[in-house]
């Protein structure tokens, strides 16, 4: 049992190290994605990343110190996190990022009517022009039958072939077409990884609890 226990112990330590890295990545994603998603969603991602990081550090300490109490506390925290992930998978609204991105296009296009240049970042990012097409700019009087440089490749509209003909709404929608499946893989992967660590933690906690009882006798 000693060899098996050692294997489980170091496996748990390794998984928790990976768990900590994942928590850091989630925090980075939440931070960098601020403004590209609803604020409440970004805050939720940051909180999740922080929880994962704290739990992973707690698990590493419990495994290294071989403390049954810490390990059982760790198991409880993992179980709570598992339930939260399940609830998130069930309740998570679909196409959050796509809807937010499309809403941003609509807002920035409205601003473009009175504040030229509001669409520049979107058009440079998604290689698109206008809300529905480049024709949208021709319908705005102050553009005088021209389009902004952000509507053209290399920001040069001298060559008509450089013009992005597609509108930003359809381009953005297409860019987020795989959002649901990608998030689904991430959610179920997170759930499976959490379940694997939980199983290892339970086995190790039971072993150290039984060992302490034997020593007490």
Q: What is the pLDDT of residue 213?
A: 67
Shortest CA distance to 180 belongs to which of 86, 95, 93?
Answer: 95
Percent of the residues in the chain that have a pLDDT greater than 70, as a whole number:
91
- Our measurement of the distance from residue 131's CA atom to the centroid of its chain's CA atoms, rounded to an integer in Å, reads 27
For the cut 50, the answer to whether the pLDDT of residue 80 exceeds it is yes
In DSSP terms, which residues pair with 152 in a beta bridge? Answer: 163
Residue ranges of domains in the chain: 2-92+179-216, 97-175
Q: Is 156 within 8 Å of 120 (Cβ atoms)?
A: no
Given pLDDT bands bounded at 50, 70 and 90, which one contains residue 92? confident
With a pLDDT cut of 90, the percent of the chain lying above it is 20
- Of 28-42, 155-169, 170-184, the poorest mean pLDDT is in 28-42
| Per-residue model confidence (pLDDT) at position 1 | 45
The pLDDT tens digits of the residues spanning 168-182 come to 999 999 998 887 788
Q: Give 121 or 96, the one with higher predicted confidence.
A: 121
Angle at 164 between CA 160 and CA 168, to 5 degrees: 155
> Do 49 and 37 touch, CB atoms closer than 8 A?
no
Provide the mean pLDDT of the chain: 84
Q: Which fold has domain 97-175?
A: Cd81 Antigen, Extracellular Domain; Chain: A (1.10.1450)
Residue-wise pLDDT tens digits, 104-133? 999 999 999 888 889 999 999 999 999 999
Q: What is the DSSP string of 168-191?
A: HHHHHHHHTTTHHHHHHHHHHHHH
- Asked if the model's pLDDT at residue 215 lies above 70, the reply is no
Given this model, what pLDDT does residue 186 score?
84
Name the more confident of 154 and 207: 154
Tell me the CA distances in angstroms from 103 to 38, 86, 168, 188, one per residue in order: 11, 28, 11, 28
* Cβ count near 43 (within 10 Å): 13
Rounded distance between C-alpha atoms, residue 167 and residue 142, angstroms: 19
pTM over 0.85: no
pLDDT at 93 over 80: no
Closest CA to 96 of 38, 43, 49: 38
Q: Reply yes or no on whether the pLDDT at 144 is more than 70.
A: no
- What stretches of the chain show up as alpha helix (H) in DSSP? 2-32, 39-65, 68-91, 96-112, 120-126, 135-138, 168-175, 179-216
């Amino acid at each position: 049992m000693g060899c098996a226990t050692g294997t489980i112990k170091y496996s748990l330590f390794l998984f928790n190290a990976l768990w900590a890295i994942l928590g850091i990545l989630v925090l980075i994603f939440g931070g960098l994605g601020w403004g590209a998603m609803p604020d409440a969603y970004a805050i939720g991602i940051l909180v999740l990343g922080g929880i994962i990081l704290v739990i992973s550090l707690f698990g590493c300490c419990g495994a290294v110190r071989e403390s049954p109490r810490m390990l059982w506390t760790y198991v409880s925290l993992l179980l709570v996190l598992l339930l939260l992930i399940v609830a998130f998978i069930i309740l998570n609204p679909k196409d959050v990022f796509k809807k937010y991105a499309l809403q941003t296009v609509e807002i920035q296009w409205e601003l473009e009517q009175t504040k030229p240049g509001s669409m520049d970042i979107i058009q440079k990012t998604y290689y698109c022009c206008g809300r529905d097409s480049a024709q949208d700019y021709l319908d705005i009087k102050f553009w005088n039958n021209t389009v902004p440089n952000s509507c053209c490749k290399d920001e040069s509209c001298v060559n008509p072939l450089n013009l992005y003909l597609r509108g930003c709404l359809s381009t953005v929608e297409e860019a987020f077409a795989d959002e649901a499946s990608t998030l689904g893989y991430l959610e179920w992967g997170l759930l499976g990884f959490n379940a694997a660590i939980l199983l290892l933690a339970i086995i190790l906690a039971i072993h150290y609890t039984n060992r302490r009882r034997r020593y007490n006798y």
